[in-house]
Amino acid sequence: MTDSPTILEPGSLDGKVALVTGSSRGIGADTVRYLAEAGANVVINYRNKAPRAEKLAAELREKGVQALVVGADLTDPISVGGMIAQIEQLFRKLDILVLNASGGMESGMAEDYALQLNRDAQLRVLGAALPLMPPGSRVVFVTSHQAHFIRTTPTMPEYEPVALSKRAGEDALRERIPALTEAGVEFVVVSGDMIEGTITATLLERANPGALSYRREEAGRLYNVAEFAAEVARAAVEPIPEDNTRLVGDTSSFVAE
């Protein structure tokens, strides 16, 4: 692992606590790394990649922050409750919640798994975490342009069930904005294009050969994992746009509602 570029001001998150769901690898891992480099104590959540999560935690502890590793299946209420209980026991609070974990293209899952994970689990994690979040804290929901714009711009058939479930999750979370605002908790959606090097992009390319290169040509360029994670990390601290939406990369191919 080479030294990553400085994304957030060192020390700017000293004393803060951040949970990034699905952070043992990919966008989540880089996001949690950037937050830790800014001084935040972090919670690394994984579903089944314990060694990878522990390795990342060891790396981040060398930067002088605390790193709690918690395995939790976000579709399981008991598992989520246990994760939040561990955060409360160690840190007593949560300042940044990044809802990054998603899925739905995995094989062998229940028919409604995408909706369970991309909508129901997002609400569950937020609901469980909210009592630990003081005024001034922030929730970041990570999604894709293909999901964010799904109601007006069709996507690949292979991705449509995931896109619809992620948009359902975004809508359900947006309905919580008034209650979050009342509690002093900020909320922002970060939407990005297909991301080079992600599992989703790999699975889409396998199901629809040429999809990635076509989208790359259409968009001009696609962000890689580290670049998009940097935008997610910035979204955790930078001013929130009026519509609570941070669009990353080209959106000229998508029709806004």
Tell me: the pLDDT tens digits for 37-57?
999 999 999 998 899 999 999
Once rounded to an integer, what is the mean pLDDT over residues 174-194? 97
Gap between the Cα atoms of 131 and 241, Å rounded: 25
Number of alpha carbons in the 13 Å side-chain half-sphere of residue 247: 15
**pLDDT in the model for residue 168:** 98
Identify the pLDDT of residue 2.
Answer: 43
What is the pLDDT at residue 1? 42
Contact call for residues 166 and 147 (beta carbons, < 8 A): yes
**3: pLDDT strictly greater than 60:** no
Query: What tens digit of pLDDT does each residue of 142-163 get?
Result: 999 999 999 999 998 888 999 9
Give the pLDDT score at 103.
80
Task: Catalogue the E-assigned strands of the chain.
Answer: 17-20, 41-46, 67-71, 96-99, 138-144, 186-192, 245-248
- CA–CA dist 162, 117 (Å, integer): 10
| Confidence class for position 211, pLDDT limits 50, 70, 90 | confident
Confidence of residue 238 (pLDDT cuts 50, 70, 90): very high
Res 32 pLDDT > 70: yes
Mean pLDDT of 50-77: 97
Q: Between these two residues, 208 and 236, which has the higher pLDDT value?
A: 236
**CATH 3.40.50.720 applies to domain 17-248:** yes
Q: Which of the pair, 103 or 237, is modelled with greater confidence?
A: 237
**Domains of the chain by residue range:** 17-248
Long-range contacts of 212-221 (CB under 8 A, 24+ apart): 218/253, 219/193, 219/249, 219/250, 219/253, 220/250, 221/249, 221/250
